[in-house]
Amino acid sequence: MNDLQQRTRPIPRLCGDTEGDAWLRDKLSAAIEFLLEEFGEEHLEAVLLVGSGSRGEASVLKTPHGHRLLGDLDLLVIARQPLRWRALRRRMHDLSSAATAGIGAEGAPLTIEYGPAGLSYLRNLQPSIFSFDLSHHAVVLWQRSDVLDMVQPIDVGAIPRIDALHLLMNRLAEILPSEPPPSPEASVEWSYQLDKVALDLAGSALAFAGRHESHYRGRAQALAALMDDDPSLRQSVSDPERLLSSIEKAAEFKLNPGGERRAASEASGTVQQLKRWALELWSWEARQLFGGAARGVSAIPDLLRAYVAHEGPQRRVRGWVKFVLHPLRPPPAATWSALGRCGLRSSPQSLAFALIISMHAGLLGESEPGWLEALAVDSPVPLSSGSEARVSREIAELWRWLVRNN
């Protein structure tokens, strides 16, 4: 037994395939060792595995060139006090890139993400889908075994409904630039992304109703039961049986990515239907949160206005301060005119989410004329004019920065 094995904790099963699991366990061990050597053990409290791998649901695909992980290998790095947050964020960003380039280059693509946090983050963690999954499924891989005891016990009923709404918007953001895949390798990633969207359509609705289901395989059945108990949900989505079938197939693909995949020719129709289902579910949830009688995609403009206005002044100010002063501000940076125009309306994150919903509704032909130009008025950063594809990419980049740096 080497020194690293003596200092780290046993790694649980990460995926269903035995050969793929062994490959990914080796990569995970290398990622931990790299972090300990480059960042220094003296600066660490613990390292945790989070995400689908912690639940044994990682998607490992066997290819003619070896194995590849679809998605990221997510590690939550609990740094030791004192924390110099700006420097820590930069350091973890650089280490993630270096580990991905080094460890991931040894045979197959692999994206490694080191997410920095402190013990106070765990102690103050509020109920959410992430904190529920963290407290119930995260795995301590190195050092302090008691760190998860610092997270307050969370019941599924305590997950805020607005968090479920945000899950839908996050998934819609990931498929916002929906150009056709340029290569077979990219097509696999795109198909995997569509599977995640389908699974989280169910995940969002279930969490919203107080029935969060962490595991992918159980989501279709749980959503069918919810539709039976709440007829308004079934009535709010087009072709609900096809939706349930798509979620069930997505779980099969997610857990067995080597199985039969959807044909490339199906991708365009699949993504359009997923977008419509997501917008229908968003409307169903937002209507219960903010009121309104109209159903479906046509109700989105009024619901978006209510969503943007739902934040209190303190949250708005805090969001803008973090956005403006962040050491890794997104290009292009917000202008003073944008601050004056948007600062009193909502936080950058809520405005970005609203842009995502508006963009998808417009691309589906459900918006009024001039909708593309109107997006610039509500954006915290400058947007291009005249090109739907370019504006889609810019909104997606803004969202990606907010997610990684919020």
Residue 276 CA to residue 198 CA, distance in Å, equals: 11
Residue 195 CA to residue 295 CA, distance in Å, equals: 26
Listed in sequence order, the DSSP H helices in 256-380 are 267-290, 300-308, 313-325, 336-342, 348-363, 371-375
- Find residue 59's DSSP bridge partners: 70
Q: Which residue has tokens 């159980």? A: 218
Q: Output the six-digit token pair for 40.
A: 């220094």
- Supply the pLDDT for residue 92: 95
- Supply the pLDDT for residue 265: 42
Angle formed at CA 286 by CA 280 and CA 292, multiple of 5 degrees? 100
Residue 42, CA distances (Å) to 46, 75, 81, 275, 324 in order: 11, 18, 10, 47, 32
> What pLDDT tens digit does each residue of the chain (406 aa) get?
344 444 456 788 999 899 999 999 999 999 999 999 999 999 999 999 999 999 999 999 888 878 889 989 999 999 998 888 889 988 999 999 999 999 976 556 789 999 999 999 999 999 999 999 999 999 999 988 889 999 988 899 999 999 999 999 999 998 887 665 555 566 777 888 899 999 999 999 999 999 999 999 999 999 999 999 999 999 999 999 999 999 999 999 899 887 655 544 455 558 889 999 999 999 999 999 998 655 666 688 889 989 998 888 888 888 888 887 776 665 555 556 666 677 778 888 999 999 999 999 998 888 878 888 888 888 888 888 778 888 998 999 888 888 776 6
Q: Output the six-digit token pair for 14.
A: 């990460």
- Supply the pLDDT for residue 252: 92
What pTM does this model have? 0.88
Q: Parallel, antiparallel, or unpaired: how do β-strands 59-63 and 66-70 relate? A: antiparallel
Cβ-based neighbour number of residue 198 at 10 Å: 29
- Supply the pLDDT for residue 3: 44
Residue 402: half-sphere exposure toward Cβ, Cα within 13 Å: 25
Q: Rounded to 5 degrees, what are φ and ψ at 262?
A: -65, 145
Q: Output the six-digit token pair for 60.
A: 């490992």
30-33: long-range contacts, CB 8 A cutoff, minimum separation 24: 30/103, 30/106, 31/73, 31/75, 31/99, 31/103, 31/112, 32/4, 32/8, 32/75, 32/141, 32/142, 33/4
Q: Rounded to 5 degrees, what are φ and ψ at 405?
A: -120, 5
Residue 71 CA to residue 329 CA, distance in Å, equals: 25
Work out the burial of residue 293: count CB atoms within 10 Å of its CB; fewer than 13 is exposed, 13-18 middle, 19 or more buried: exposed
Q: Rounded to 5 degrees, what are φ and ψ at 186?
A: -65, -30
Q: Which domains does the chain have, with CATH numbers?
A: 3-154 (3.30.460.10), 291-406 (no CATH)
Q: What DSSP state is assigned to residue 115?
A: E
Residue 395 CA to residue 401 CA, distance in Å, equals: 10
Closest CA to 307 of 176, 198, 162: 162
Instruction: State the Cα torsion 401-165-121-147 to the nearest 10°.
Output: -120
Q: Which residue has tokens 């990221």? A: 72
